[in-house]
Amino acid sequence: MSEENSNHNRLWWGLLVFGILLHLSSISASDYGLDTHLHLAAIESNEDGTPDLEWGDVRPQDPSASNPDEIQILDRGWWQILELYPSWLLPFAAFFPMLALIGIVLVMTNGKPHVAALLSIHPSFIFATGRLYPESTVALAVAGIILASLHLFKRQGWQLTQWIVLAIASIHLLVLVKGLSAMVAWVLVAVLFGWIALDRLVPKFQTYTRNPIMGLSISIPIVLATMIAASFTVEGSLSTIRTHSVQWLFALLIAFFDGFVLYLLIGMCCWPFVADFVDQSKKSNDNSSVFLLVFVASGTLLMSMWIASLWVYEADRWDLPLWENMILMGNNGRYLTALAFPILLLLDRSLKRNTLSIGKPLMLAFILVLPLSMLAGIHGQTMWTDEAAQSFSKEIDAGEDFLYIDDEALAMHWLYTFRLEVDPEGERDITGHWRAPDSNWQIELDGQVMNNRGDLSSVQFIVIAPNMDIIIPSGWEKIASGEAPYLNGGGEWLVYRVV
């Protein structure tokens, strides 16, 4: 190896190590994320055999008020993985899968660090590591599916067994973490094994499995038909495909740009090599390369459709303009990082095993991404609710309640961030309530009980979110206040106690 190549490799190894250090830094700098608090609440309540959110459904029947009687049960989900970790190891629950993913990428690229380095500095993965989000675990599950599939295309006899087991386990892990039914996993297993079996056993089907255009011509319509059919058969966000078609189509375009362009191509620093991707895809005539392309394209379409449905559904529930809700929930695009492994394999194949050269396009990619990576790793993201909760957690007695006043968007998620401070083990029987500012919560404090709302008669503390213009009724005194971090929108939060 020439001295130039050696220096080049050292640069990539340095970038890889730097990315790993940013992941470690994010663990110490970041608070747990909103969704993580929900799953931790499910773990706490699981001791009685029911993993539920005891302060009420995050999508309450009354869109301006919580109701603890509407207990939301999380039958499956990320909490089941978090539950496996002892408390002292819990902060690393997203870091270990990330290390495993980086290791697999290094193995698949024959120990060359360039592709693994791009993975390690991805801002979304660094962000997810600190916030204890499942993105690295989901991406690792997808990597298991891809690895198993590539071997199932070519292995024979008993050698198939281990890869069949890996494929089934990876699919079930993916579905479990996303909180979906086990039946969904078996359907995906059938689709995957069906594609591989047809390629191996039916020569005519190889017209589709070994030609990129033909492969996409059947996979894309199948995804579209499946998601559209689901909009007629299931309730919830997917129904917006049918009920709000125009808004949904607009949201789909933005979701594709947000997820695939921003979070995958730009976030992974892959956009300078799109031309190489396209050129390599046109020339692909082997089953593994076509499978990777079909997997990425189908996965991108499916997740973009899902994200668009979430945006439209939540905007309708919260009575928000769609554009405003898309900005609020724009980080849903991170779901497409599940496709990081197959994208990086396609990149490595398009380079024909050559090491990436750091030219002007790649330097520009680094200039765009590295500041975000360092922000996610070094600064992290903090919450104001832990400080607000600490201000009254020792004063609130067992069996008493508190009231949280905030705007509708994600307010129930924010409510559960108080749980770890005021009642981490669920032994104090403390209940948190949420009300929107204009929900007439003042008359509930006076004893009036309203339909589809929790009883506020035991409320002893009121927490006002930042930037809320609220008039507090008489009989309450301010006991604490503080400034929310800039990344949380800034502003002053307030805590009141009944006199």
Q: Domain containing 491 — which CATH number? A: 3.40.190
d(CA 167, CA 170): 5
- Burial of residue 160 (CB within 10 Å: 0-12, 13-18, 19+) is middle
What lies within 8 Å, CB to CB, of 105 at 6+ separation is 115, 116, 119, 341, 344
> Do residues 215 and 341 both lie within one domain?
yes
Does the CA dihedral 309-310-311-315 come out positive or negative?
positive
> Do residues 324 and 405 both lie within one domain?
no
Does residue 22 lie within any of the structural domains? no
The pLDDT value recorded for residue 283 is 79
What lies within 8 Å, CB to CB, of 314 at 6+ separation is 237, 320, 325, 329, 409
Kindly report the backbone phi and psi dihedral angles of residue 122, in degrees, each rounded to the nearest multiple of 5, phi listed first. -60, 120
> Do residues 291 and 424 both lie within one domain?
no
> Do residues 408 and 337 both lie within one domain?
no
d(CA 230, CA 234): 6
> Do residues 235 and 342 both lie within one domain?
yes
> Do residues 329 and 404 both lie within one domain?
no
Q: Range of 313's domain?
A: 205-350
- Distance, CA of 80 to chain centre: 16
Look up residue 352 and give its DSSP letter: T
Q: Give the number of other CB atoms < 10 A from CB of residue 405.
A: 21
Does the CA dihedral 22-28-31-37 come out positive or negative?
positive
The pLDDT value recorded for residue 257 is 96
The pLDDT value recorded for residue 302 is 96
**Domain end marker among 323, 350, 377:** 350
Predicted TM-score (pTM) of the model is: 0.93
> Do residues 275 and 400 both lie within one domain?
no
User: Which residue do the tokens 């008669």 mark?
Assistant: 457
Q: ∠ CA(146), CA(148), CA(149), 5° rounding?
A: 65
Q: In the chain, how many domains are there?
A: 2
**Domain end marker among 350, 377, 409:** 350
- Burial of residue 394 (CB within 10 Å: 0-12, 13-18, 19+) is exposed
Task: Give me the residues paired with residue 495 across strands.
Answer: 463, 480
Does residue 488 lie within any of the structural domains? yes
CB distance 151 to 108 below 8 Å: no
Does residue 173 lie within any of the structural domains? no
Does residue 288 lie within any of the structural domains? yes
> Do residues 332 and 391 both lie within one domain?
no
Residue ranges of E strands in 13-78: 52-53, 72-73
> Do residues 291 and 428 both lie within one domain?
no
> Do residues 310 and 407 both lie within one domain?
no
**Domain end marker among 350, 373, 400:** 350
The pLDDT value recorded for residue 7 is 67
Does residue 214 lie within any of the structural domains? yes
Can you give the pLDDT of all 499 residues of the chain as single tens digits? 555 566 678 889 999 999 999 999 999 999 999 999 999 999 988 777 788 899 999 989 998 999 999 988 888 999 999 999 999 999 999 999 999 999 999 999 888 899 999 999 999 999 999 999 999 999 999 999 999 999 999 888 888 999 999 999 999 999 999 999 999 999 999 999 999 999 999 999 999 999 999 999 999 999 999 999 999 988 889 999 999 999 999 999 999 999 999 999 999 998 888 887 788 877 788 899 999 999 999 999 999 999 999 999 999 988 889 999 999 898 999 999 999 999 999 888 887 655 566 678 888 999 999 999 999 999 877 889 999 999 999 999 999 999 999 987 889 999 999 998 998 888 889 999 999 999 999 999 988 889 999 999 899 999 999 999 898 999 999 999 999 988 777 899 999 999 8
The pLDDT value recorded for residue 277 is 79
Does residue 135 lie within any of the structural domains? no
Does residue 78 lie within any of the structural domains? no
Does residue 397 lie within any of the structural domains? yes
> Do residues 336 and 410 both lie within one domain?
no
> Do residues 478 and 397 both lie within one domain?
yes
